[in-house]
Amino acid sequence: MVRRDRARLGSCGMTEPLVVLDHVDKWFGELHVLQDINMSIARGEVVVVIGPSGSGKSTLCRTINRLETIDKGTITLDGKPLPAEGKALAAHRAEVGMVFQSFNLFAHKTILENVTLGPIKVRGTDKAAAEKQARQLLDRVGVGNQADKYPAQLSGGQQQRVAIARALAMEPKVMLFDEPTSALDPEMIKEVLDVMVDLAQGGMTMVVVTHEMGFARTAADRVVFMADGQVVEENTPDEFFSNAQSGRAQDFLSKIL
C-alpha cells in the first residue's frame, strides 16, 4: 500500500474545499454533542476521525449526510448549504455516500439489486445501465461473482464491500465511513480496508471514522482527534502519531497503539 501523493493533488488545483462545517453546534437535549466544529475538507482529501467512544464522531458524520440536523452554524457541500427537506434533500443524500458499521443491505434483495436500487429509484437510471454499472462496481470491490446471491449468503467482509459498491453506485462527491470494519472478524478487516485504500488512491474525498491506525497512516491526509464533542487536535498522520500535542490524544493513543 502506498501513501497518496499530496503534492500531486495540490498541483492539480484539487484543494478547494468540498465540505465545510462552520461553527457547527448540536445538542441532544442537555448534551452538547458537537461544540463549535470547524472543518474544511478538500476535494480528494482523506480525513480520518478518531476519538473515544461517545465523543460525537458518528453524529458528525450523520450531520454531513443530514441524517441529523444541526442547531447552530452551517454545513456546505460544494458551496451549497445542506437542504432541509424534500427533493433537494434526497439529491444531497445521493451526493454523500455513507457506509455504516452494520452493513444495512436489503436482506430480501439480491446483491445486484442492492446496488442498482438507488440509481434506478433516485437517479432514474435505466435498469440495463444500472446493472452494467453495478457489475463493474462489484468487480471493483472483489465480489463480482456474488451478484445473484442474497446478503445472508455472503461473509461480513463481502457484505461490507457490497455496501461500499452500493454507495459508489450513486456517484457520490464524498464518502463517509463510520467504523466500517468494527463489526468484522479480524480476517475480513483487511479486504475492506484494501477497498478503501484503493478508493483513497483513486482520489475519492473521504471522511473515515475508524480505529484502524494502519489505515490512517497509509491513506489519511489528516487525522482529526475528537473528544467530548470537540475537535481537540488535528494533524498529518505522521505528526499526530509521533507527536500528539494534547494530553487527551496522548492518553487515547496510549490505549489503542
Q: Under the criterion CB under 6 A, does residue 53 sit at the interface with ligand ADP?
A: yes
CB of 33 to ligand ADP, least distance (A): 4
Task: Report how far residue 156's alpha carbon sits from residue 63's, in angstroms, rounded to the nearest whole number.
Answer: 26
Q: Which does 59 bind (CB under 5 to 8 A by kind): Mg ion, ligand ADP, none?
A: ligand ADP
- Return the number of the residue (58 or 210) whose C-beta is nearest ligand ADP: 58
The answer to whether 115 and 146 have CB atoms below 8 angstroms apart is no
The answer to whether 174 and 19 have CB atoms below 8 angstroms apart is yes
Could you identify the residue written with the cell 465540505? 19
Q: Under the criterion CB under 6 A, does residue 71 sit at the interface with ligand ADP?
A: no
Q: Which stretch binds ligand ADP (CB under 6 A): 52-60, 130-138, 212-220, 231-239?
A: 52-60
- Return the number of the residue (137 or 176) whose C-beta is nearest Mg ion: 176
Q: At what angle do helices 156-168 and 186-201 cross, to 10 degrees?
A: 20
The answer to whether 207 and 177 have CB atoms below 8 angstroms apart is yes
- Return the number of the residue (9 or 67) whose C-beta is nearest ligand ADP: 67
- Judged by CB under 5 A, the residue of 55, 58, 125, 158 near Mg ion is 58
Nearest CA among 187, 186, 144, 183 for reference residue 162 = 144
> Mapping DSSP to helix (H, G, I), strand (E, B) and coil, where does residue 248 land?
helix
CB of 61 to ligand ADP, least distance (A): 8
**Residues at the interface with ligand ADP (CB under 6 A):** 28, 31, 33, 51, 53-59
